[in-house]
Structure 1
Amino acid sequence: MKSEEEARPLTELLLAHAAPERLAWLREWPGLETLLAEHLAACREAWPPVTLSPEAFLRHLARHLPPQGAPADALRQLHAADLYLACACAGGDPQALHAFEQHILQKVPARLGQLPESTVDEVLQVVRQRLLLGMGGAPPKIADYSGRGPLRAWVRIVAARIVSELSSRDGRQELFSEPPETLERMLAPDDPERELLQADSREVLTEALRAALAALSERERALLRLHHLHGLTMDRLATMYGEPRSSVARHVAQARERLLKLTRRELAARLKLEGRELESLLGLVQSRLDLSLDRLMD
């Protein structure tokens, strides 16, 4: 038996979310109900594991309707299955994220030309962050995909722009460096233990943290950001990366431990302290860093 939503005409669902200036145009469209049904059937056939309600899809489609006066074939030629997948990814559907990783993202490197493997990995990490994570309350950027062309081509353009950014030193710094004020927030402002660090020691701490982050691989930085800043669970990370949960959890733990060790090593090299004084400061910093990685990666 169909649910109440599935029993509603698709045209009615689309009109409920379309902009007012498009309503008359849509109401006059002959065969719109049949066209929407064909699109929805093609979506479900292309991505059978993905769960997305007709209303959620048509609400998303309404945002990306071609403007009034566009060629009549514009809606017919919509890459509906790709739009459906993008909509589900924007909503965080695990099966959609897995399909995006396997069928879209992993096909991109072959079209980027000859690049070092490390650069390819870096590019894919940034694509994941830019397209699949919402920032500042905004929806993920993949929600901006309109379905006018293939999703794979759209993602490839995004990736090519990132390659261009990475080719310049300034671009790399913009993408991956952490500002000093962000690093210093690893110790909570209201933490009385912070007062144990003199101003010059805090400056050294910032430099040590920056050096430690720079020494991490982009995959390690990405995993720490995704888990500690954006709050992605191990299950969602496993889906996004197409890896077993235990493997992803191990990589996150290893990245976290490596950051701690690198920070400690940098502090030991930069601070000209000895014996108990050095060990006391290092112990304080390490314990607070262990508890405050979310602030560090903000």
Structure 2
Amino acid sequence: MSDTPEADSLSALLRAYVPLERRVQVAAVDGLDALLAQHLTAARTAWPTVSLTDEDFLRHLARHLPAEATAEVLRQLHGADLYLACACAEGNPQALRAFDQHVLQKVPSRLGSLPRATVDEVLQVLRARLLMGRGEAPPKIADYSGRGPLLAWVRITAARIAGELANRDGRQELFDEPPEALARMLSTGDPEHELVRKDSRELLVDVLRKVLASLPERERALLRLHHLHGFTMDKLAALYGESRSGMQRQVAHARERLLKLTRTELAARMRMEAPELESLLGLVRSRLDLSLNRLLG
């Protein structure tokens, strides 16, 4: 599919993706082809580095068409913003970079007089909440409908997050795994290892939860993006607007901090002879390093 709008085919593409019972209504919109072509031209002018096919954009638009899809409704659509959101939902690196530079970086000035550390935390949670899918569900940014500016929609989400963080008891944790999931990750399948004993598993689950909760939001977000969602260093660099080598160092640092804190906490809690403790800690480190994707899932 060409990336240049072809006005005689756009309305047919859109109709192909709306429910069957609404196709006649959509076909009746005056000047539909021209409207769609205008939105695509405006989007590619606004985001020249973001590549998204006509078909992908129109499929996304069809999902968000209101019940009354009139020419006026479509004319008022923030098509360029919807185009960017669609590309971000697909994980397009150029779109993620544009979203960070042109949307996320404008959020702090709209949050009021919050401490810099709180603003940074809001941005990290915002990235995770909007740009990371959950299981089979797409990223939340896919829910943006284009009826208002994307920046305003993102700012509302950021304000909610700031409110959650203001009440630490109500803070959403990015890692909230059931004990069974962590225990499965830590299990080696070898009944001779102390690690698979029920009391050891319970202790380790408690330690891991404490350690994960103590990590800075940015580090948790980086570990989750990289190990769970498979974001490459190039993709992380595009998202954060930083160099690939810089992102690689940050991910490695976050992983090492997680492992170091886990070791320190285990050493403080477990009463063992030094060789036995070191053996257990070595096993924990190995399992964590090899299985972070399951730990963070």
Q: Does residue 197 of structure 2 align to residue 198 of structure 1?
A: yes
Q: Does residue 232 of structure 2 align to residue 237 of structure 1?
A: no
1:278 is aligned to 277
1:37 is aligned to 37
* Counterpart-to-counterpart distance in 1, 2:274 and 2:66: 70
Which amino acid counterpart does residue 60 of structure 1 have in structure 2?
Answer: H
* Counterpart-to-counterpart distance in 2, 1:151 and 1:92: 17
* Counterpart-to-counterpart distance in 1, 2:121 and 2:4: 46
Report deviation, 1:3: 8.4
- Deviation per residue, 1:38-65 (Å, 9 max, x gap): 1111111111111111111111111111
Number of residue pairs matched by the alignment: 296
Which amino acid counterpart does residue 213 of structure 2 have in structure 1?
Answer: A
* Counterpart-to-counterpart distance in 2, 1:188 and 1:6: 56
- For structure 1, which segment, 264-273 or 7-16, has the greater mean C-alpha deviation from structure 2 after superposition? 7-16
Distance change >3 Å, CA 44–CA 200, structure 1 → 2: same
2:52 is aligned to 52
* Counterpart-to-counterpart distance in 1, 2:120 and 2:216: 10
- Deviation per residue, 1:143-164 (Å, 9 max, x gap): 1111000000001111111112
Q: How does 1:168-183 map to 2 (within 5 A)?
A: 168-172=167-171, 174-183=173-182
Q: Secondary structure at the match of 1:185?
A: helix
1:27 is aligned to 27
Distance change >3 Å, CA 188–CA 233, structure 1 → 2: farther
* Counterpart-to-counterpart distance in 2, 1:247 and 1:177: 28
1:94 is aligned to 93
Q: Secondary structure at the match of 2:113?
A: coil
Which amino acid counterpart does residue 171 of structure 1 have in structure 2?
Answer: G
Contact 2:144 2:153 in 1 (8 A): yes
Report deviation, 1:204: 2.2
Report deviation, 1:71: 5.9
2:103 is aligned to 104
* Counterpart-to-counterpart distance in 2, 1:76 and 1:92: 27
Report deviation, 1:30: 2.0
Distance change >3 Å, CA 195–CA 46, structure 1 → 2: same
1:67 is aligned to 67
2:15 is aligned to 15
* Counterpart-to-counterpart distance in 2, 1:116 and 1:196: 42
Contact 1:185 1:296 in 2 (8 A): no
- When the two structures are superposed, what TM-score results if normalisation uses the length of structure 1? 0.91
Report deviation, 1:98: 0.6
How big is the alpha-carbon RMSD for the aligned residues of Structure 1 and Structure 2?
Answer: 2.2
* Counterpart-to-counterpart distance in 1, 2:192 and 2:171: 34
* Counterpart-to-counterpart distance in 2, 1:186 and 1:60: 37
- For structure 1, which segment, 193-202 or 75-84, has the greater mean C-alpha deviation from structure 2 after superposition? 193-202
1:266 is aligned to 265
1:248 is aligned to 247
Report deviation, 1:121: 1.7
Contact 1:79 1:148 in 2 (8 A): yes
